[in-house]
Amino acid sequence: MRIVVGSLQQESNTLTSRISHYDDFTIYRGSAMLSKIAVASLFAERGVTLLPTLYAQAVPGGPLAQADFMMLADELVDMIPRDGFDGIWLYLHGAMEVQGVGSGEQALLEKIRSKVGSQVPICIALDFHANNTHEFLRLATCTVGYRTAPHIDMEETQVRAAEVLLRCIQEKLSPQLGYVRVPVVVPGDCVLTGEEPLSSIMRVAQKLENSVGMVICNVFNGQPWVDAPHMGPSIVCYHETDQEIAQQAALTIGKQFFESRHDFSFSFENYKPELALKLAYLSESDRPVFVTDSGDNTTAGAAGDNAFILSRILALKMSDVLVGGLTDRKAVEVCERAGLGSEVNVSVGGSIEPSSIRCALVAKVIYIGDIEGWYGENAGRCAIIRTQGVDVILTANRCALVRPRIFEKLGLDIKAYRFVVVKLGYLYPELAEVSERTILALTKGTSTERLQDMDLKRITRPVFPLDTDFIPQW
């Protein structure tokens, strides 16, 4: 058996002004990509010969420029042979938005199908925050989504997609699709799989998936910071032979999701920015306390360049605080030119997003070097400065400080600070494990937690909470 494998991933945020480009992607080609996916050993155990193509991944960001998407998609598709293989396994995100195109996943599948035809099985692993179009789902043979948010089952999901693909090939199975779009949009930080009401919804999906003849029952929340008609939650189910059963399963889950729309809320402390900072500063703990700058969340595609929180910390005369991951390439270059131990006059913030706050500082440079990225890669140059008892991590590129190791490699002990600011929403699992207290600051920005502040014009209406007095047309 011969199977093509490939991956093209970026989560989009169309509210940010920065456009994503080809150079934002970390790319591995051919056999080099096999170390980046979780299914190579499974396929080897099953005696499968792999035909590797492309692994291209970028940190969440603004919509991808059309020409750059075409370069990536064409390269991946060009590496797929026209015949002589049994199936295709893909690992995509599901919320890649391309300028002038729309869904990048749908466009990629259209390209692949035009080359290999409609009969080749294509099974896809997707993120929980996928914004699925119906046409994309029809082009795929089967999709398998994460079951966790925060995400801890990425590898497991890749393997499940591989196992479904093997079934489709060996049993000549053509799963029948059931699809429901749920007219509800809630911020991802309110939709956690371990918390109600989503945990009950996920249990219903699992029970239905375990029923006779069902293949997969997926619950997707979607990526809410995308202004597109297909943005939002979707339920995607597959039955071995019966489309009506698959559709009924999707409808059952979708109705429960809609009926629970008033019950989604933050499962952790959340306050207006100044109160969040004051409460964090007054915390007494031997373990780290985190404040998340939710409106400038780089893992939701925001720029990470807003110095608003830093400006408030300084105005409140707080000390022994660490501000993590402020994007400003020019500020990093100023620090590098001055050298370690130097005093610098530097303006930080507002380097990407016009609405972001800048902050003029007199500071001492206490670190110059590289910073580790989200996936363990080298994420580029970094400087740490100290001003008025506050340490600030400056990064040349947009970064996501999602695990303690990233801080440790910079020589920072996060327990030594009264609190640590990170540009996230909910904490990622490894940070959550060491955190004593997490406070979400309801800051403004391109990853704002309020749908009403997003100024979305192209989404499908009606949708809750923008609209409240309507009955879904299931």
Are 449 and 425 within 8 A, CB to CB?
yes
Listed residue (251, 165, 159, 174) closest to 208, CA to CA: 251
- Is the pLDDT at 374 greater than 90? The verdict is no
C-alpha span between 162 and 48 (Å, rounded): 11
C-alpha span between 94 and 449 (Å, rounded): 21
C-alpha span between 184 and 194 (Å, rounded): 19
pLDDT at res. 452: 83
- Is the pLDDT at 279 greater than 90? The verdict is yes
pLDDT in tens, 221-260: 999 999 999 999 999 999 999 999 999 999 999 999 999 9
Q: Where are the domains of the chain?
A: 2-263, 269-453
Mean pLDDT of 90-110: 98
- Is the pLDDT at 125 greater than 90? The verdict is yes
Strands 176-181 and 234-239: antiparallel
pLDDT at res. 225: 96
- Is the pLDDT at 323 greater than 90? The verdict is yes
Listed residue (190, 151, 62, 275) closest to 449, CA to CA: 190
C-alpha span between 433 and 220 (Å, rounded): 25
Mean pLDDT of 189-215: 96
Residue 375 pLDDT class (50, 70, 90 cuts): confident
pLDDT at res. 286: 85
pLDDT at res. 36: 96
Q: What b/e readout covers 242-272, taking b as 16+ CB neighbours within 10 angstroms?
A: eeebbbbbbbbbbebbbebbeebebbbebbe
pLDDT at res. 114: 98
Mean pLDDT of 448-474: 92
pLDDT in tens, 382-406: 999 999 999 999 999 999 999 999 9
Residue 214 pLDDT class (50, 70, 90 cuts): very high
As a whole number, the mean pLDDT across the chain is: 96
Kindly state the percentage of the chain with pLDDT values over 90. Answer: 95
Listed residue (161, 195, 138, 122) closest to 43, CA to CA: 161
Element (H, E) at 436: none
Listed residue (144, 76, 83, 85) closest to 110, CA to CA: 76
Mean pLDDT of 150-167: 97
pLDDT at res. 347: 97
pLDDT in tens, 22-80: 999 999 999 999 999 999 999 999 999 999 999 999 999 999 999 999 999 999 999 99
pLDDT in tens, 72-83: 999 999 999 999
Q: Could you write out the DSSP letters of every residue in 169-186?
A: HHTT--PEEEEEE-SB--
C-alpha span between 333 and 310 (Å, rounded): 20
- Is the pLDDT at 363 greater than 90? The verdict is yes
